[in-house]
Structure 1
Amino acid sequence: METSIGALISGSGVRYANKTALIVNGRTYSFSEIEHLSSAVATRLQQQGYGRGATVSICAPNSAEWIIAYYGIMKAGCIVNPLNLMLTAPEMAYALVDCGASVLFGLSEKLLSVRALLGDKSPLLVSFDGEADDLELFEGWSGTSVGSVLEFDQDLRSEISTVVYTSGTTGKPKGALLTHRAVLLNVAMTATMHGKSEIDTVVSALPLSHVYGNVVMQCAIAYGMTLVLHSTFSAEEVLESIEKHRATIFEGVPTMYMYLLDFPRLADYDLTSLSRCTVGGQTMPLAQMREVETRFGTRLLELWGMTELGGLGITHPVLGEARLGSVGLPFPCVQAGILAPSVNGQLLPVGQVGELVIKGPLTMLGYLNNPEATAEAIDSSGYLHTGDLAYMDDDGYVFVVDRLTDMIITAGFNIYPAELEGVLCEHPAVAMAAVVGVRDPVKGELAKAFVVLSQGCQLTEQELLDFCRTRLAAYKMPRLVTFVDDLPKTGSGKILRRVLRQ
């Protein structure tokens, strides 16, 4: 195992040199080119005084700049904070302040919106697109002469590499702390289970800021694959890439496959180069999984992961038995169990449904600045509580059947009702609000809001949605709103979301 994440590209830059590492936005990058450019960024970070322990954020769409900045941050010994591009400026500002980010890489529009909120407390802003004259330009950073200050041989495996934010049931984002070792091990296990190597070309439109997309990128860099990266998902563009580049792997979420299956000219594309596809982020109907395998002519490997694991924890081995409907087998380096959902829960035997728990070197150290949430997530035995209801069969395959919590998953993104309810209730005309998930054939679930207005107030659905739109990322927006006279509650006043779902 490498001694740090930054060492992945350093080693690959030597091993694979002029081999194509990345194809994005019509441009091709070799491994040695990414290695050199990321070293330049690392040098500039250290010249500015940002080295071991400093936190550096990235908020941008998939691009070569994103990857170069990421590995530059890692080489400099800094901690990376990948931010979801769909976050609003207030959401970004909260994360930046909470993690103490020193530098923020991204597009000018996002950078300026953050600066408008944070003012003098804003981190150093470095623009990928160079549209604002008063921002530092990434082009200058990646053109820095590589200096000798870089310590390529430093062993950072036990140190924090990443703080990545995931919403909590309280509505406040939580920063999961991942070590270099956890990420490196996740990459190694994923590549092993999926049989990835330098003969592979992978097509992906998964966001690099998401742990799934990040592991796809890391596997490609570590094992000499060619990554054909899309900034956004388009069924036609993905199919064209698979055919043009003779891709061996496509990686996506269920929604992407649904759009691909629904694409009218799917049969016109040559997909015979594919040797396997992966799907994760949420469960996928069995009928559609079978249709993917039939129409794509290859195997579909389901996987399961969490932000708090830095990627996958369970998946199907490419050379193993196919069990559609199961998310696969736990990685060899982790211990998975099914816990009785009670205060003093015990591990359950085969076939019984309970909460899926994970223990091992992949799990996060905890949540930044949030010991209470950490204690709730990781118990005294070291098990990470996932919030998923699942069971195992006699051979150890895991089947996820439902959510233990009220979390809503729409197109692979996690939405927490309490966060949406807090925003809804900020509107002066709203007295109470409750949000639940309703099934959707394409996105899995949609967020539906039940709203009680304050006495004498009037409000339309569109007015309320417009109010939310400036405060919530697009994927968190409630898609349905129903105005009601009251909400069902327990005797203690707790809102019964179960009744609303029914």
Structure 2
Amino acid sequence: MVPLDPAPRPLDHLTLRGRAGDPALATRDGVLDFAGLEAAVGALAGWLAGQGLASGDRVATWLPKTRTACLMPLAAARAGFVHVPVNPQLKHLQVQHILSDSDARLLITQATRAETLEMEGVRIVTDDPPLVGPALPPSDADPGALAALLYTSGSTGRPKGVMLSHTNLWLGAISVAHYLGLDHADRVLGVLPLSFDYGQNQLFSTWAAGACVVPFDYLLPRDVYRAIERERITTLAGVPPLWAQLLDIDPQEIDTSTLKRITNSGGALTRRLIDGLRERFPQADIYPMYGLTEAFRSTYLDPALVADHPDSIGHAIPFAEIMIVRPDGAQAAAGEPGELVHAGPLVAQGYWQDPERTAARFRPAPAWSQAGGMAVWSGDTAVADADGLLRFVGRDDEMIKSAGNRISPNEIEEAITAGGETGEAVAIGVPDERQGQAIVVVAKGDGSAEPALRERLRRDLPNFMQPARYVWLAELPRNANGKLDRAGLRGMMS
């Protein structure tokens, strides 16, 4: 088990955690052991250092799970830059916003993706950077320095960049590797996007344990079963829609007996999913987890407690202090709902160039906090039982959480009204067993423009942001202030 050393280090030192001959990264390009991982990260960092950038500049990647995409978080950190991973599912408008907002100076992507962009001020590289050659040695970076911007949607407006330091990412890796009990013999299948904190941590926590990560992009759920068998996978992380997909098909003769851990975040596990996973993978422990990009992860539930507490999100992960706070700032009693507040060294540095939204979410911890300092006030309501186990009650903002993605209703609404098919629209998340929430749009009009609208949105929005259903009304209801009655519409759709 990885020891809980609370001393953070520069992120690129993760290459030094494994034994030289042990596998560290298995992609279509082959397998790198830890010595090869160190050499490749050093060479990529050396190439980055020769690109004429200034210390602290942002360098972005918009790639599938290539070897370069996996190495860039460490190489950028080693070269003194800030990595901005962009979700490969995003379309050009979202990508251009992220590049512009982060003021990225360099983008590594593929030629077909680059052709969709109209950007100035960012140099676009479509050839694979060298992973051999003159190398930078492990860095002596300040662990408190900014290492990455991860873009996540807010309840209003476009995606915002969460600022993560070496400390945030290093201690997050150590924490997860410790409570999952990872060791050098493990093989982790990385099916989640590397632009997600959860997906990126799969790289970091695996390397922190000296284990091997197998990044994997799949089309069909059967591909995941085959990868488990082919790669002798021991650990699989996912979101509820993936589990639903896996349980919907019969793996037949595919051998999944090597799988010993299933970890879940990005939405609650239902009793049906828990029972199905226990039946399908009886040899695997199930780890339900709760987190938010602003603090990486907050809680996990011990697998031994899952059967008796299926609706619990567990207790604080190592290095995190989790509090349930009443509206008056006092600590909530057992059984009393309150806001979930996260303090400690996993708390991010705020939102990139957005002091207003930073001040709203990142505020001083309650006076009675043990960790103190700046805390993330999640806006989520939770309750603790007499034994300290936490249960998620509800989300106080209007975010839509679908297929593990946090989606801004405002971003969808802006895209819908941009083409003139309708002048008013409200996007709402409604419960959906497979996706967590499905996107329903209530729009002004008679519905005749729906086919053209759907066709346009297929070009302008990624798949996970496509509305599942439209409801057309002659007039949208408004409240006493003349604003669209969003609460009333959500009630109508529930």
Query: The residue matched to 1:468 in structure 2 has which SS?
Result: helix
Question: 2:369 — aligned with what?
Answer: none
Query: The residue matched to 1:493 in structure 2 has which SS?
Result: coil
Show CA shifts across 1:256-305 (max 9, x none): 111111112x2523222222211111112112112201220122110111
Residue 490 of structure 2 is aligned to residue 501 of structure 1: yes
Question: 1:134 — aligned with what?
Answer: none
Question: 1:113 — aligned with what?
Answer: 116
Show CA shifts across 1:210-253 (max 9, x none): 11111111111221112222123532222122223332212111
- For 2:319, the aligned partner's letter is C
TM-score normalized with structure 1 length: 0.90
Question: 2:293 — aligned with what?
Answer: 307
CA distance in 2, matches of 1:206, 1:458: 36
Question: 1:396 — aligned with what?
Answer: 388
Question: 2:274 — aligned with what?
Answer: 289
Task: Report the CA distance between 1:408 and its aligned residue.
Answer: 0.9
Q: Which region of structure 1 is more displaced relative to structure 2, 322-331 or 34-43?
A: 322-331
Show CA shifts across 1:342-367 (max 9, x none): 5x454321112232111111111111
Show CA shifts across 1:433-468 (max 9, x none): 111112222111111111113xxx974211112232
Show CA shifts across 1:154-192 (max 9, x none): 132011111111122222221111111011111111111
Selected match of 2:257 from 262, 266, 272: 272
Selected match of 2:466 from 442, 466, 477: 477
Counterparts in 2 of 1:86-485, with a 5 A limit? 86-114=89-117, 117-118=118-119, 120-121=120-121, 123-127=122-126, 137-139=127-129, 141-143=130-132, 145-147=133-135, 150=136, 152-232=138-218, 234-264=220-250, 266-297=251-282, 298-309=284-295, 311-317=296-302, 323-340=309-326, 342=327, 344-381=328-365, 382-453=374-445, 459-485=448-474
Task: Report the CA distance between 1:387 and its aligned residue.
Answer: 2.6
**RMSD, aligned CA:** 2.0
Question: 2:24 — aligned with what?
Answer: 21
Q: 1:16 to 1:285 in 2, by over 3 A?
A: same
Query: The residue matched to 2:115 in structure 1 has which SS?
Result: helix
Question: 2:66 — aligned with what?
Answer: 63
CA distance in 2, matches of 1:172, 1:234: 30
Query: The residue matched to 2:298 in structure 1 has which SS?
Result: strand
Question: 2:52 — aligned with what?
Answer: 49
TM-score normalized with structure 2 length: 0.91
CA distance in 1, matches of 2:19, 2:466: 44
CA distance in 1, matches of 2:277, 2:303: 16
Residue 13 of structure 2 is aligned to residue 7 of structure 1: yes
CA distance in 2, matches of 1:497, 1:255: 27
Show CA shifts across 1:374-429 (max 9, x none): 01111233331223221111222221122111111111011121111122222324
Query: The residue matched to 1:439 in structure 2 has which SS?
Result: strand
CA distance in 1, matches of 2:271, 2:219: 23
Q: 1:498 to 1:180 in 2, by over 3 A?
A: same
Q: 1:320 to 1:157 in 2, by over 3 A?
A: farther
CA distance in 2, matches of 1:157, 1:253: 30
Query: The residue matched to 1:431 in structure 2 has which SS?
Result: coil
CA distance in 1, matches of 2:421, 2:231: 54
Task: Report the CA distance between 1:477 and its aligned residue.
Answer: 1.8
CA distance in 1, matches of 2:180, 2:10: 22
Residue 478 of structure 2 is aligned to residue 489 of structure 1: yes
Task: Report the CA distance between 1:319 and its aligned residue.
Answer: 7.0
Contact (CA 8 Å) 1:248, 1:274: kept in 2 or not?
yes
Task: Report the CA distance between 1:316 and its aligned residue.
Answer: 2.5
Contact (CA 8 Å) 1:425, 1:432: kept in 2 or not?
yes
CA distance in 1, matches of 2:216, 2:150: 22
CA distance in 2, matches of 1:338, 1:269: 44
Contact (CA 8 Å) 1:86, 1:473: kept in 2 or not?
yes
CA distance in 1, matches of 2:375, 2:471: 39
Query: The residue matched to 1:372 in structure 2 has which SS?
Result: helix
Task: Report the CA distance between 1:17 and its aligned residue.
Answer: 1.6
Q: 1:151 to 1:51 in 2, by over 3 A?
A: farther
Contact (CA 8 Å) 1:195, 1:318: kept in 2 or not?
no
- For 1:450, the aligned partner's letter is V
Show CA shifts across 1:134-164 (max 9, x none): xxx224x324x214xx352413201111111
Contact (CA 8 Å) 2:423, 2:444: kept in 1 or not?
yes
Query: The residue matched to 1:478 in structure 2 has which SS?
Result: coil
Show CA shifts across 1:16-68 (max 9, x none): 22222222237322222222122111111111223531211111111222112
Task: Report the CA distance between 1:318 and its aligned residue.
Answer: 5.6
Task: Report the CA distance between 1:332 and its aligned residue.
Answer: 3.3
CA distance in 1, matches of 2:305, 2:278: 16
CA distance in 2, matches of 1:487, 1:321: 43
CA distance in 2, matches of 1:233, 1:374: 37
- For 1:289, the aligned partner's letter is I
Query: The residue matched to 1:36 in structure 2 has which SS?
Result: helix
